[in-house]
Chain A
Amino acid sequence: MATYIINLAILIGINAILAVTLNFILGYAGIFSLAHAIFFGIGAYTAAVAAMKFGADFAAATAAGMLVSGVISLALALPALRVRGEYFVAASLGLQMLALTVFSEWKSVTGGIGGLIGIPPPRLFGFDVSDPVLFLALTLACLGVILIAIRALVRSSFGRSLKAIRDDETAASALGKNVALLKTLAVMVSSSFAAVAGSLFAFFLSFINVESFVLEVSVQVIAMVIIGGTGTLLGPVIGAAIVLLLPALLTYLPYLPPTEIGSIQQMIYGLAMVLLMIFRPSGLWGYGSSQDRKRAAP
């Protein structure tokens, strides 16, 4: 039971990193991406390949994943962010489909549909951190560092510029802000940090395949951000916990046939999203009362 809870906590931590990094562009810059699972995947595959073929430890493998993910994000952002938001949504959907095909077809690197098996246990600065408790500590440390980094970025001139773009792109550029460049940088930062989640995921499972990076995962991360609260620091963490705990809790409900849990879960997600949009459109941790506003301030 303890191992199950620790493993669940690790998965929540990994998904929280994904949600927090997506929120950086969605909540603070108003950039709606449907390709976040791809940068998660790029981080996972790069870290796995670095560990399997080059013997990289967790830090080196993660750094490699961040670099590759950041560079590939530029390929998406540079052309797509010169236009208004809806085009980026379409472009990100295109990248999601394209990259998924690459993941499943580039067999020599990704292992194809079968994926990569036998990713070595994670080591950090010479120490084995494969023990679940240690790995949970590593996951939480990564989440903490990313939260601190994003908090600092949001409070900086860069963060203010992103929020200005989110609120009114025309006014932001009329104040001298290079909107395309700022958005490109934001996507690069977000994608690089998302790769950290990918690296943790690859080392945690010792196995990855294309199933973990499909469009449904991107949509699920968006749901985490919206449920928790866009444009808030901790909202996406709460959203990730709720979305991952829900199926776990449903398994304890009596009289629910195990074969129907998936459908019931989908119905509850849908209902929760509809109710949230009606009664609390800023999410559970988002703006509501003045007290909430103080809490939501990054």
Chain B
Amino acid sequence: MTGEILFQADNISKTFGGLKAVDNVSFALRAGIITALVGPNGAGKTTLFNAMTGHLVPDRGAVTFLGESILGLPHWKVARLGIGRTFQDLKLFSHMTVLENVTTATESGSWLWQTGGRAAQVERSARIERALDATQLQRRRDTRAVDLSYAERKFLSIARIMASGARLWLLDEPASGLDRSSYDRFLTVLRNEVRAGVTICIIEHNLDIVQSISDRIAFLDQGRLLAEGEPKTILSDPALAAIYFGERAP
């Protein structure tokens, strides 16, 4: 349901040696909207993603998804709860075909076969076809990921998370490097998915993209959450703009 809190981080911190990568950050992701995490390089955005998905365990703080604590869960368990993510470097299964990449995203069971019988198999097949259709990768289904163009690889990373059935998508710079037409198509895919009930949190450096797609913005700098609110409020704040473009936080 739109507006309900899907994900909540409370006072989470993560330190690497003497560096506070995430410093006492609290924020919530509400269902059915796109929230952008913005901030200069080194602000702690990807570390925050890693803490949200179990790839890193915060030193302190609480993390909940749908009201249940997910702190300390291994990332594969977090994924099975419905939190999917993409990576800056895409991390596709390079030597598998497009179809295999998407198919394996629907198969989280670890045994020699998937549970659920015929009905579950039909449902998985439907998800696969829908993901391939939405990302226009149908005609490339038998092509290995390593042989795709850059834009197609970006769409494959989205097709994979779409097929996984994740309810919350954490996308790490998903539109970087896309040409204009691919970029427009990309935004359309994301908007359609949000309309279908998906919640998205996106890390993005391009403020034009942030402005055109996000419903809320969380601004991070040096591991701290400096501001959170509607895009026009955050992006028109001269102090935040100064930080983003190279000046230090007050």
Q: Which residues of A contact B (CB under 8 A)?
A: 153, 156-158, 160-161, 163-164, 166-168, 170-179, 181-182, 185, 231, 287, 293
Contact = CB atoms under 8 A, between A and B. Distances in A.
A259 B65 CA distance: 71
25 contacts: A153-B112, A156-B113, A157-B113, A157-B114, A160-B100, A160-B104, A163-B95, A163-B96, A163-B100, A164-B93, A164-B104, A167-B96, A168-B94, A173-B75, A174-B55, A174-B85, A175-B79, A176-B79, A176-B164, A177-B110, A179-B76, A185-B112, A231-B95, A287-B95, A293-B144
A177 B76 contact: yes
Q: Give the 7 A-B residue pairs with the shortest CB-CB distance, closest first.
A: A176-B108, A171-B91, A176-B79, A167-B93, A157-B107, A160-B104, A178-B110
Contacts of B74: 173
Interface in B67-100: 74-77, 79-80, 84-85, 87, 91-96, 100
Given A160-B96, A163-B93, A163-B100, A175 B108 contact: yes
B76 A178 contact: yes
B184 to A, nearest CB: 27
Nearest to A290: B147
Contacts of A158: 111-113
A167 B95 contact: yes
Contact of A175 (B100, B104, B112, B144): B104
Contacts of B76: 173-174, 176-179
A281 to B, nearest CB: 13
B118 to A, nearest CB: 14
A192 to B, nearest CB: 13
A168 B74 CA distance: 17
B52 to A, nearest CB: 12
B13 to A, nearest CB: 23
B18 interface: no
Contact of B91 (A168, A178, A293): A168
A167 B97 CA distance: 12
Nearest to A165: B93
B109 interface: yes
B34 to A, nearest CB: 20
Contacts of B153: none
Given A161-B104, A170-B91, A156 B110 contact: no
B105 interface: yes
Most buried by A among B93, B105, B110: B110
Given A156-B113, A167-B96, 12 more contacts: A157-B104, A161-B104, A161-B107, A163-B95, A164-B93, A173-B75, A174-B75, A174-B87, A175-B84, A176-B76, A181-B110, A293-B144
Kindly name the residue among A156, A158, A176 whose own CB sees the greatest number of chain B CB atoms within 10 A. A176
A65 B92 CA distance: 38
B53 interface: yes
Contact of A176 (B80, B91, B113): B80
B47 interface: no
Contacts of A160: 96, 100, 103-104, 107
B162 to A, nearest CB: 12
Interface string B24-55: 00000000000000000000000000000101
Contacts of A157: 103-104, 107, 109, 113-114
Contact of A170 (B87, B101, B110, B144): B87
B93 A171 contact: yes
Nearest to B170: A174
A244 B92 CA distance: 38
